[in-house]
Structure 1
Amino acid sequence: MNILTFDTEEQLNEAGAGVLSGMVQMNPSAILGLATGGTPIGIYEQLVQTYKRGLVSFNKVTTFNLDEYVGITPEHHQSYSYYMRQHLFNQVDINIEQAYVPCGTATDLEEECVRYDRLIENTGQIDIQLLGLGHNGHIGFNEPSHALLSGTHIVELAEATKTANARYFSAEEEVPQKAITMGVGMILKAKNILLVVKGEDKAEIVKRALTGPISTNCPASLLQTHPHLTVLLDRAAGSLL
């Protein structure tokens, strides 16, 4: 585990973008696992700037997103498909046919989970998986539980997660109750994992995830078992380490 702490959010975002762009520079056909939410936005902004400076091209890259809300169309402004187009895909030269996000409106959601896992396995091992960290220790939408599923699956979102997501919706009743998420087993199959965490409100869960016992009650603690884990923290998030 390699933990790096930064004094400013700009420095952290530059470092995160540097890790991802460096992977693509070394392997133009890299397979990237991508995340959404507030944490990666600055990293994606830096990636776009790196692309605009002519330092990296994404035209041979394949991407797989961690998750998507159930019942929200890709065109909905709070879908993760929309998020990725807004913050990255529409601003770089990626082939959108090779940018995959689970379909939350599939007729058969269980079959969609199987299809998504098969698509990842047939494409190849993810070179680097970008992750954020939930307040309750979730990664993707893998919520704390007595047991965790390895493959892509449907999950009932925890109350803490729905509360955290409510700020993105105009009314509480609009907040999705379920999501499709890549399983912890698939996340851990990535060759490299990049965990990014910001803010004092995450300091306690950062300490628990990175130094506490490995338990499915804190899904992020399973990252301790990965041989190539890089953690980027701001000073506030890392204050209890």
Structure 2
Amino acid sequence: MSTEPVTDRSVDRTVGRLQVRGFPTRRAMAETAAADIAATLRRLLAGQGAVRMVFAAAPSQADTLAALRRAPGIDWSRVTAFHMDEYIGLPSAAPERFAAWLDDQVFTRLPFAAVHRIVPEPDPAAAAARYAALLGEGPLDIVCLGIGVNGHIAFNDPPVADFADPLDVKVVELDEACRQQQVDDACFPTLADVPLRAITLTIPLLLRGRELFCVVPGRSKRDAVAAALTGPIATSCPASILRTHPDCTLYLDPESAPDA
């Protein structure tokens, strides 16, 4: 276990409407993000009967999820969980599936009211429509997300991202940069092993989340973070749209912060 001290936030600023928090260590970033998510869960559960929550699946989120699992005082039996994307074409038991990763990290380790997994088989388009219907049954209270090396949020890569997408969930072709990230993150051995298609929640759906928590560690994300914060709000960097959300916080470590 890391012996780094957990240090409070070292940088606070606002870019557009986006709150940006920088930290001196990855551990401090992850534990503070988890504490903020936990505090939001407690606050919402104190005022409403249930919470609906979306989780991203990526190694970059593991430290935050581990800290969130340890957070006290959360009635997980009133939380319904969703995830934001899934590969098409992997065997149902493949450990690379995002549902399997989230099962290991959080879905099977906390007593959720319900967990809704994206199951692409046998018809991905129909699966996307079914998942959109589940998401549409109520508001989304919390979205936990990251940013990809090409600026994607969920699997909304630049070639397919649409800020006015008419769909809530859709089938997409994955950008090569996105697929290469999966290899660089040690999720797949080679680029050829990474699926070409996926199901993803769309950007308008993500932005309808009441509170967004975006955790982005690592040197490989620095250019994407810089584009998200200082470039145009455009689908060339889908994460740039986060600057328009009324309640989104971006958590950075020293490696991902572009001005570090």
Fold-level similarity (TM above 0.5): yes
Counterpart residue number, 2:222:
203
Counterpart residue number, 2:178:
161
CA distance in 2, matches of 1:17, 1:184: 23
Matched, 1:38 2:63: no
Counterpart residue number, 2:126:
111
CA distance in 2, matches of 1:82, 1:145: 27
Within a 5 Å distance, the mapping from 1:27-176 to structure 2 comes to 27-28=44-45, 29-50=50-71, 54-95=72-113, 98-105=114-121, 107-122=122-137, 124-145=138-159, 148=162, 149=165, 150-166=167-183, 167-176=186-195
Counterpart residue number, 2:39:
22
Calculate the aligned-residue CA RMSD, in Å. 1.7
What are structure 1's unaligned runs of at least 5 residues?
A: none
TM-score for the superposition, normalised by structure 2: 0.84
Q: Residue 62 of structure 1 aligns to which amino acid in structure 2?
A: T
Q: Residue 70 of structure 1 aligns to which amino acid in structure 2?
A: I
Q: How many residues align?
A: 234
Q: Residue 103 of structure 1 aligns to which amino acid in structure 2?
A: V
CA contact (8 A) 1:72 1:104 kept: no
Q: Sequence identity, in percent?
A: 29
Q: Deviations over 1:53-89 (max 9, x none)?
A: x432311101110001112245321111111111112
CA distance in 2, matches of 1:192, 1:49: 21
Within a 5 Å distance, the mapping from 1:180-219 to structure 2 comes to 180-219=199-238
Q: Residue 133 of structure 2 aligns to which amino acid in structure 1?
A: R
**In the superposition, relative to structure 1, how do residues 147 and 77 fare at CA in structure 2: closer, same or farther (>3 Å)?**
closer
TM-score for the superposition, normalised by structure 1: 0.91
Q: Choose from 211, 216, 234 the match for 2:253.
A: 234
**Offset at residue 239 of structure 1 (A):** 3.3
**Offset at residue 145 of structure 1 (A):** 2.5
What are structure 2's unaligned runs of at least 5 residues?
A: 1-17
